[in-house]
Amino acid sequence: MVAFSSSTRQSILALALSATAALAATVQREISVTSNDVNPDGFAREATLVDNQLPGPVIKGNMGDRFEITVANDLQSDQMYKVLSVHWHGIHMYHTTWSDGSATVSQCPVIPNNKFTYVWDTSEARGSRQSGTFWYHSHFSSQYCDGLRGPLIIRDDAEDKKKFNYDIDSEDHIISLGDWFHSYGKDFHPGPFSRPQIPDSIIINGRGVDPYNPTKAAIDALSVITVQPGKRYRMRVIQMSCYTAFDYSIDGHALEIIEADSILMKPYTVDSVTIYAGQRYSHILDTRNKRPDAYWIRAQPERLKIKYAIRGATGASATVPYWKNSTNVAVLRYTNSPNQWPVNASDISVPATPRILNETAMRPYTDVRAPGNPVVGAADINITLSTTFNSTRDGLFRINNSTFTPPRVPMLLQIMSGARDAADLMPQGTTYVLPRDKVVEVRIKGTSRETGGPHPFHLHGHDFYVIKAAGSNVTNFVNPMQRDTISSGLENDEAIIRFKTDNPGPWFLHCHLDWHLDMGMGVVFAEDTKRTKAQNPVSQEWNELCDKYNNYVESGGENREMDEEGQI
């Protein structure tokens, strides 16, 4: 074996890092957010769109790239919110916490006829070597329910293909799952006896069918994913819904799961996976030894275990399972197969005992131990979050007896202006100040279905270690999966997560059912407040956001009443 001196090893490392830097690029892109008419399911309405698309266009780059994404606010419709912010879901934002995009936590909203550039880096030199499947969406009130959402893909192609032996990974094989509403997000106001809006349809890649009015035009326009026989495809599945969890499957095909929330994992083959709002999975679709045909891609609403009553052949009302009659589906079509719709589920081979993804059995591709003492409750900082809901009092959620009320001054600006302690930071009761370089354990208690459970909780600024997944009593400190969004489970259950405080800034932990966040279901971890300003030099654009927004509100901006109620 050849031995190298310490100085030689350092030189080799420096050369390797400089070579990596030379390959990195800056992804510069401008996207326009507008309002326009859409008809994704047979019902026409206005929507908030990115580059006039539903979902928005794919934003893509490679690991090591720097991203500079300019968002132009061209919104004009009085039916929907006109101000905006955009969150880059899953991106850690090391040294650019001001680009996280959480309105009232990391920034003031962007007003109409203005632009804002979000910046982040995925290079190791900047502390966050990230790749995988992400997405972007509005983080202002319930705006993303009106359509402001789209895929964000950061590739590490050479390494990933080597690990999982797939042939094709393209934009054509991204599958976005979403729910859709015929009413506007702005129409929902938390209050006594209020309930979150119920989706009117399910859309896959922006297309679906209104189950109460299944028009032929909508059915004919269902999304189609085309594949060739004899290949292994990487399918990237992104859950963009506002309210609904889905049981995702593809008729006649197994799902070889290889990624969860941008973290690669040891291949895990299942027939179906429950996917909650905010979560992402990559799976291998193997088209070798399959009959070239058309197959249903299904997104059965797990939260809404219901059946729709539609008109039968004789005109009488006929109750049918919600997944038939072309609802909640898209089409997987092989090239050179007959141009026809897939057969019904009863006509294909369905496993007698389907393999359903068990989160406890997921393992990261590279084993990494959870930080801290490997005993539940023995981290440096231990926090238990319990959620309650009072429908008759005020219709708001409370975590540890406190409702998150968006502050008038963004929390990051408060910290930049000198606030350091929980007593100085607003909102009080839902802000947890965490010192640097500590291991934090969070126990997220489940709730009943009557209070909207299970709730998918998303942590900004981090991937956390899943010590215990809901639905299991197994704890894992040896090789736990990492991700950024997890189900809390139902009552008498809980999820337990850990993370290290190595990313200064205020980071949201909240329910990703957007209506529930509007109803106060969130907390903020203000991490390493003493170093936040020094570690996150802000842009001049960011410095100007709040003055512009406050002037807009004072001059009669359309969100004035909502701002006065604090619900932004």
289-324 residue pLDDT tens: 898 999 999 998 875 543 333 333 343 444 444 434
Residues with Cβ < 8 Å from 137, sequence gap 6 or more?
86, 87, 89, 144, 148, 149, 150, 240
Task: Note the pLDDT of residue 343.
Answer: 73
Distance (Å, whole) CA 243 – CA 513? 5
Residues 435 and 316 in one domain: no
Q: Which of 101-105, 186-190, 354-358, 439-443 has the lowest average pLDDT? A: 186-190
CB–CB of 92/136 below 8 Å? no
Residues 555 and 533 in one domain: no
Asked if residue 134 has pLDDT above 60, the reply is yes
Residue 142 pLDDT grade (very low, low, confident, very high; cuts 50, 70, 90): very high
Q: Which secondary-structure segment (H or E) carries 489?
A: none
- Residue 363: inside a domain: no
Asked if residue 531 has pLDDT above 60, the reply is yes
**How many CB atoms neighbour CB 301 within 10 A?**
22
CB–CB of 363/258 below 8 Å? no
Distance (Å, whole) CA 354 – CA 254? 10
CB–CB of 61/54 below 8 Å? no
Residues 225 and 270 in one domain: yes
Strands, DSSP E only, in 56-164? 59-62, 66-73, 86-89, 114-121, 132-138, 149-155
Distance (Å, whole) CA 264 – CA 160? 9
Return phi, psi of residue 223, to 5°: -65, 140
Count of residues making up the chain: 568
101: left (phi over 0), alpha (psi -120 to 50) or beta: left
Per-residue pLDDT of 433-481, as tens digits, reads 999 999 999 999 999 888 888 999 999 999 999 999 999 999 999 999 9
| Residue-wise DSSP of 219-243 | HHT--EEEE-TT-EEEEEEEE--SS
Assigned token pair, 46 = 């206005």
- Residue 284: inside a domain: yes
Assigned token pair, 186 = 């702005």
Residues 141 and 287 in one domain: no
3-state secondary structure string across 333-388: EECCCCCCCCCCHHHCCCCCCCCECCHHHCCECCCCCCCCCCCCCCCCEEEEECEE
- Residue 14: inside a domain: no
Asked if residue 227 has pLDDT above 90, the reply is yes
Side by side, the strands of the sheet bearing 232-239 are 207-208, 201-204, 174-180, 232-239, 280-286, 255-260, 263-270
Judged on CB neighbours under 10 Å (0-12, 13-18, 19+), 167 is: middle
Assigned token pair, 231 = 């290949």
Per-residue pLDDT of 239-281, as tens digits, reads 999 999 999 999 999 999 999 999 999 999 999 999 999 999 9
Residue 129 pLDDT grade (very low, low, confident, very high; cuts 50, 70, 90): confident
CB–CB of 148/56 below 8 Å? yes
The larger pLDDT score, comparing residue 568 to residue 483, is at: 483
- Residue 112: inside a domain: yes
Distance (Å, whole) CA 190 – CA 118? 30
Residues with Cβ < 8 Å from 565, sequence gap 6 or more?
none
Asked if residue 107 has pLDDT above 70, the reply is yes
Give, in degrees to the nearest 5, the angle at Cα 520 between 514 and 525.
95
Assigned token pair, 315 = 């005109």
Asked if residue 140 has pLDDT above 80, the reply is yes
Tokens 């399918």 found at: 235
Number of domains in the chain: 3
Query: What percent of the chain stands above pLDDT 70?
Result: 86
Residue 349 pLDDT grade (very low, low, confident, very high; cuts 50, 70, 90): low
Residues 167 and 310 in one domain: yes
Distance (Å, whole) CA 523 – CA 511? 9
Residues 435 and 514 in one domain: yes
CB–CB of 469/279 below 8 Å? no
Asked if residue 206 has pLDDT above 50, the reply is yes
Task: Note the pLDDT of residue 270.
Answer: 96
CB–CB of 66/96 below 8 Å? no
- Residue 287: inside a domain: yes
Report which of 419, 90, 31, 76 is spatially closest to residue 263, judged by C-alpha positions.
Answer: 90
Residues 101 and 149 in one domain: yes
Residue 212 pLDDT grade (very low, low, confident, very high; cuts 50, 70, 90): confident
Per-residue pLDDT of 384-443, as tens digits, reads 999 999 877 788 999 999 999 999 999 999 999 999 898 899 999 999 999 999 999 999
461: left (phi over 0), alpha (psi -120 to 50) or beta: left
| Residue-wise DSSP of 428-484 | TTSEEEE-TT-EEEEEEE-B-GGGT-S-EEEETT--EEEEE-TT-----SSS--EES
Task: Note the pLDDT of residue 374.
Answer: 98
Distance (Å, whole) CA 30 – CA 370? 39
Strands, DSSP E only, in 172-316? 174-180, 201-204, 207-208, 224-227, 232-239, 246-250, 255-260, 263-270, 273-275, 280-286, 294-301, 307-311
Residues 509 and 544 in one domain: no
Asked if residue 512 has pLDDT above 60, the reply is yes
- Residue 105: inside a domain: yes
- Residue 2: inside a domain: no
Residues with Cβ < 8 Å from 553, sequence gap 6 or more?
559, 560, 563
Residues 492 and 482 in one domain: yes
Residues with Cβ < 8 Å from 18, sequence gap 6 or more?
none
- Residue 399: inside a domain: yes
Of the residues 357, 390, 419, the one at which a domain ends: 357
Amino acid identity of residue 263, one-letter, is: I
**How many CB atoms neighbour CB 148 within 10 A?**
28
Assigned token pair, 105 = 């936590």
Residues 75 and 92 in one domain: yes
Asked if residue 7 has pLDDT above 50, the reply is no
Per the structure, the complete domain to which residue 520 belongs is given by: 381-537
Query: What percent of the chain stands above pLDDT 90?
Result: 74
Assigned token pair, 523 = 């907390």
Asked if residue 325 has pLDDT above 50, the reply is no
**CATH number, position 52:** 2.60.40.420
Task: Note the pLDDT of residue 338.
Answer: 83
**Computed over its alpha carbons, how large is the radius of gyration of the chain?**
23
Task: Note the pLDDT of residue 394.
Answer: 86
Residues 490 and 563 in one domain: no
Residues 464 and 531 in one domain: yes
Distance (Å, whole) CA 564 – CA 291? 60
